[in-house]
Amino acid sequence: MDEEKKLSFDTLNLKDNLLRGIYSYGFETPSQIQDKAIPIFMTRKDIIAQAQSGTGKTGAFLISSLQKLDESVKETQILILCPTHELVHQIYEVAVELSKYLDVSIMEVVGGTNVTECRRGLDKNPQIIIGTPGRVLDMIQKQSLFTNNIHTLVFDEADEILSFGFKMTIYNIIQTIPKNAQICLFSATIPEEIIELSDKFMTHPEKVLVKKEALTLEGITQFYINMKINDWKYDVLKDLYDTINISQCIIYINSKNKLMEVYECLIRDNFPVSYIHGELTSSDRKKVMEEFRSGHTRILLSTDLLSRGIDVQQLSLVINFDLPKSKETYIHRIGRSGRYGRKGVSINLVTDRDMHYMKEIEEFYETKMDEMPQNLEDYLSV
Ligand code: ADP
Ligand code: MG
């Protein structure tokens, strides 16, 4: 009978002007994770929150952060870290909207941008900082970013943020944050080793966890196309082009070199697509994202740079040109479609050699991938 309980933002004890922002942004009722995580966040206990992709984790930590923020204290109070510039910018835009009726200063702090400008922005002690770990640590060390009033530290895509590449940077950032600050981890995937690791810097975190079998969403249909060898994938992709061009689509390719090769072939063969990877300049990356978000480009080739967090509602199809190296990445990639209960489709291009790994992924998530049917269009109808 409890399942019938109507969730409401009104019962979450939020500031009136925050509620106004939430409703004017278009959220009517909280999602499950928002309803669960916001009250825990407000207790100021550390929290590890996991929920499937596309279910509103951003709203959960932003609404909580804005609720906790003391508007009258003009110091940096909240630090939100995530792995890519693209994700920082996306979270920033949501934060600006949700805080429209509050008196709050928010700043993005990411690499690849002008350092002098960055320092100038930080001189104003923005109350909320959303950033990538490298630049944030750099700004702390250069004494441009003051951490002594930070009471809330949020890691979005926490398992990625705590993975090998970022770990030392994160460790160094944590050292500078007041000991009693609240630390909050959010991700769709929280592997066991992350929970173990979190023991080292969190205090009795409250956990909201999802079983791995429950991670694949019903709304996302998963197909595969089997071919003998890697070299045939390109032709398969060309055959798919007209079908996939009716919706918006991301095609994931594991390596940057392969991505460029596929891109150049597609352009040469007159199949317009765009591409993104981490070695483009910051401003090029921004431009590519703007064009894709506006629907100006429909098909985007990407490395795992965009495997996490990116939210483009019209995106209904994900193609894995290569299966990702880790099982976590698989769930993040396909979760780029089917946002907030929408329908999505994913297609995996698998060679004979990949079939075994594909079966492993199926078993791991207790899910099923079917051979791609002729009438793919029917699944893509938006
Ligand atoms: P996650 O981080 O869990 O993958 P996001 O926070 O990116 O998901 O949210 C996915 C989509 O759901 C976004 O487009 C967001 O605007 C939408 N959304 C989130 N919360 C709500 C809500 N309470 N009501 C309506 N839409 C929501
Ligand atoms: Mg997210």
Contact 61, 155 (CB under 8 A): no
| Pocket of ligand 1 from Cβ distances under 6 Å | 27, 30-31, 34, 51, 53-59, 311, 313, 339-340
Contacts of 50 (CB under 8 A, 6+ apart): 186, 187, 188, 189, 190, 208, 209, 210
Alpha carbon of 159 to ligand 1 centroid (Å): 20
Say how far apart CA 54 and CA 333 lie, in whole Å. Answer: 11
Ligand nearest to the CA of 33: 1
Instruction: Provide the pLDDT confidence category of residue 4 given band limits of 50, 70 and 90.
Output: low
- Report the mean per-residue pLDDT for the chain: 96
Report CA 235 to chain centroid distance, whole Å. 31
pLDDT tens profile 135-161:
999 999 999 999 999 999 999 999 999
- For residue 2, pLDDT beyond 60: no
Which domains occur in the chain, in start order?
Answer: 2-211 (3.40.50.300), 216-380 (3.40.50.300)
291-342 pLDDT per residue, tens:
999 999 999 999 999 999 999 999 999 999 999 999 999 999 999 999 999 9
Task: Please identify, by atom number, the ligand 1 atom nearest to the C-alpha of residue 51.
Answer: 3
Residues 6+ apart with CB under 8 A from 148: 178
Decide if 248 contacts 316 (C-beta within 8 A).
Answer: yes
Residue whose CA is closest, atom 10 of ligand 1?
54
What residue has token string 């910051």?
282
N-to-C CA span, the chain: 33
Please tell me the number of the ligand nearest to residue 38's CA.
1
Q: Is the pLDDT of residue 264 over 50?
A: yes
Q: Are 126 and 107 in contact (CB under 8 A)?
A: yes
Element housing 13 (H / E): none
Nearest bound ligand to CA 26? 1
Q: Can you tell me the distance from the alpha carbon of 185 to that of 15, in angstroms, rounded to the nearest whole number?
A: 24
pLDDT tens for each residue of 97-117? 999 999 999 999 999 999 999
User: pTM (2 decimals)?
Assistant: 0.96
Which of 19, 53, 310, 311 to mutate to test ligand 1, by most ligand atoms within 8 A of the CB atom? 311
Q: Judge residue 110's burial from the number of C-beta atoms within 10 Å of its C-beta, 0-12 exposed, 13-18 middle, 19 or more buried.
A: buried
pLDDT on residue 245: 86
* 63 φ/ψ angles, rounded to the nearest 5 degrees: -60, -45
Taking the centre of ligand 1 as the mean of its atom positions, its distance from the CA of residue 263, in whole angstroms, is 31
Phi and psi at residue 60, to the nearest 5°: -60, -50
pLDDT at 308: 98
| Mean pLDDT score, 246-257 | 96
Best residue among 31, 84, 331 to mutate for probing ligand 1, ranked by most atoms within 8 Å of CB: 31
Mutation to probe ligand 1, out of 10, 25, 52, 55 (largest number of atoms < 8 A from CB): 55
The atom number, within ligand 1, closest to the CA of 313 reads 14
How many residues does the structure list for the chain?
Answer: 382
Atom of ligand 1 nearest to the CA of 29: 23
Instruction: Report the C-alpha gap between 381 and 78 in whole angstroms.
Output: 41
- Amino acid type, 242: D
Report pLDDT for 246.
85
Q: How far is the CA of 226 from the centre of ligand 2 (A)?
A: 31
Ligand 2 center to 144 CA (angstroms): 28
- Assess whether pLDDT exceeds 60 at residue 7: yes
According to DSSP H, which parts of the chain are helical? 16-25, 32-42, 57-68, 85-98, 115-123, 133-141, 158-161, 164-176, 192-198, 233-244, 256-268, 282-293, 327-334, 355-364, 376-380
Distance 131 CA to ligand 2 centre (A): 14
Token pair recorded at residue 321: 């040109």
* 248-252 and 274-276 strand pairing: unpaired
**C-alpha 178 – ligand 1 centre gap (Å):** 31
pLDDT at position 3? 52
Region for residue 118 given its phi and psi (left: phi exceeds 0; alpha: psi -120 to 50; beta: otherwise): alpha
Q: In what order do the strands lie in the sheet with 370-371?
A: 274-276, 299-302, 248-252, 315-320, 344-351, 220-227, 370-371
Q: What distance in Å separates the CA atoms of residue 77 and residue 70, rounded to the nearest whole number? A: 8
Minimum CA distance residue for ligand 1 atom 18:
56
At residue 149's C-alpha, the angle toward residues 144 and 152, to 5°, is 105
Calpha distance 196→198 (Å, rounded): 5
* pLDDT recorded at residue 1: 43
Ligand in nearest proximity to the CA of 62: 1
